[in-house]
Amino acid sequence: MSLDHPAEGYEFDQDTRVEKRADGEFTATLTDGWTTFTSHPNGGYVLGTALNALGQTLAQPDPLVVSAFYLRPAAPGEAALRTETIREGRRTATGAVVLEQGGKEIVRATATYGDLSAEGRELHLQGPPELPAPEECEVPAEFAGEPEGVTIAHRVEYRYPQRPQWLDGRKDGNPQVDFWMRFADGRDADVHSLPAMVDFAVPAVLEIGEFSTITVELTTHIRARPAPGWLACRVWTKHVSHSLHEEDMEIWDSEGKLVAQARQLAMLI
């Protein structure tokens, strides 16, 4: 299947582009435009590149669930990708993808795709974050500038109802944060970008003074095709032990519809 991105000129689409070399084999070039506090390309961005290859392999249009293991940090530069179709069914298709650099595996992911246009029962026991309108929320000066080495801050916009306490050195905050998010260049989110965007949140553990954390495994559920506009996000951590913590995230679209959920296991470094 060929992914139909309506806006090929946007940075995310350009930077996650893959070239098909043979059946199940692709190449890509990871850029330095999505680096984080760790100085490596953001794991969600790397996964987005891998899924661009897998999405061209499977017949169903929408990722439903993605599970990715991060084996090594990625680096800007050339990457090779290998995809495998595990099963093609009537309603779902499942496949796997490996992204390698320098002959070493960086990310290995398995995903099931389906069709989110199907209708069915709806039940939500909790609604989206209650946030002021994005234009009424704060843009921290540190985010509006050019944080050294954190180039993802130039690609993604964030709006907070109040200034995050960790920016002022506080280490005793509540590791739950509600905020707005969108691509800085105006690209609207879609089902192909959501598996990456669930990893674009500033980690909630910064509120307790933990600034260095890396993802071990990330599972994402895509629940609906998002409407255009800002995304209302909720991210939280409840447990830190043995230098590991979970990071949960929900993304709701501009119409108040749940579009993505994610949980990752991360390691403090």
Cα 247 to Cα 10, 130, 182, 255: the distances in Å are 28, 20, 20, 25
In whole angstroms, what is the distance from residue 119 CA to residue 262 CA?
A: 22
Helix (H) or strand (E) holding 141: helix 141-144
Angle at 253 between CA 206 and CA 203, to 5 degrees: 10
With CA atoms as reference, report the closest residue to 195 among 163, 218, 169: 218
| Whether the predicted model's global pTM rises above the 0.85 cut | yes
pLDDT tens by residue, the chain, 269 residues: 434 444 568 999 999 999 999 999 999 999 999 998 778 999 999 999 999 999 999 999 999 999 999 999 999 999 999 999 999 999 999 999 999 999 999 999 999 999 999 888 889 999 999 999 999 998 888 877 666 668 998 899 999 999 999 999 999 999 999 999 999 999 999 999 999 999 999 999 999 999 889 999 999 999 999 999 999 999 999 999 999 999 999 999 999 999 999 999 999 98
Provide CB contacts within 8 A for 124, sequence distance 6+: 258
